[in-house]
Amino acid sequence: MKLNTQAMKWTREPKRYNITSDKVEIITEPYTDLWQRTYYHFRNDNAPVLQIPTEEKYFSFIVKTEFESKNRFDQCGVAMYLNGENWLKGSVEYENEQFQHLGSVVTNMGYSDWATTAIDASIKSMWYRFSRREDDYCIECSTDGIDYSQMRICHMWKAAGAIQFGIYACSPENSSFQATFTNMEITDCQWLAHEGQAPDEQC
C-alpha cells in the first residue's frame, strides 16, 4: 500500500521542504541532530522527523532515500521517534570524501547506541525497510530496493502500543543538503517469524 504523505505529521517542522503525493524533499538546517548521552555525553534532540501514527503490530515500511550530503555527519533515513528519550533511526552518515557510515541508532530510556559499517562515499542513494513485530523492530537496507540486508534487530521498551514512524534528515555540523524520499509504502511484515532455536524452557 502506497503511504499517504498527507497523513504524515512533523516533529519539528523544518524551514525548507516540499511534499507531494509521491515525494518528500527536506533541506536540512545546520546543527540539527538526534543523540542521547552515551559516550559523547551531549544530548541533541532537534532534528525534523516526518511520521505517520499506527497501532498495527505487524508491518513493514519501505522508503528510498537520495541525498546530496557533503559535510561530516550529514544524514538522512528512516526513523521511529516516540519522544526525546525513545527512538531509533537508520541512515547513511557522511564522513569524508572516501567513506560514509551506514548505520543505525537505537535509543532506549535516554541512552543511544550506534552500530555502523563503512561504505563508499560515492553512494548517494539507499533503500530502507523498517519492520515491526509487536515491540521488536528490524531495520534493513538495500542499494536496489530488491535485495535487503539486515542492519539491526532491537527491542524498544516504550514501543509496545501505538507508535509513529517515518523519515528524517539532519546536519549536526554547520552544513545543509537536500534529502529526497520516494517509493514509500507500507506492506505486510516482511520480517518473518523466527523458526530456528526454540526458547529456553522456563524452570
Q: Where are the domains of the chain?
A: 5-187
CATH T-level assignment (fold) for domain 5-187: Jelly Rolls (2.60.120)
In angstroms, the Cα distances linking 32 to 36, 47, 74 are: 13, 5, 9
On the question of pLDDT at 151 being above 70, the answer is yes
Alpha helix (H) residue ranges in 58-107: none
pLDDT at 196: 74
CA-CA-CA-CA torsion sign (144, 152, 71, 32): positive
User: Is there a contact between 1 and 7 (Cβ–Cβ < 8 Å)?
Assistant: no
| Residue that is written with C-alpha cell 546530496 in the block | 68
| Per-residue pLDDT tens over the stretch 66-116 | 999 999 999 999 999 999 999 999 999 999 999 999 999 999 999 999 999
| Residue that is written with C-alpha cell 516516540 in the block | 82
For residue 59, give every residue at least 6 positions away whose Cβ sits within 8 Å of its Cβ, in sequence order, or none: 131, 132, 186, 187, 188, 189
In angstroms, the Cα distances linking 94 to 3, 24, 76, 163, 175 are: 28, 20, 10, 28, 11
Query: Please, which pLDDT band fits residue 203 given cuts at 50, 70 and 90?
Result: very low
pLDDT at 195: 79
| Per-residue pLDDT tens over the stretch 114-136 | 999 999 999 999 999 999 999 99
Tell me which amino acid residue 163 is.
I
User: Is there a contact between 132 and 189 (Cβ–Cβ < 8 Å)?
Assistant: yes
The C-alpha cell of 38 is what? 552515551
| Per-residue pLDDT tens over the stretch 159-186 | 999 999 999 999 999 999 999 999 999 9
Q: Is the pTM of this model over 0.85?
A: yes
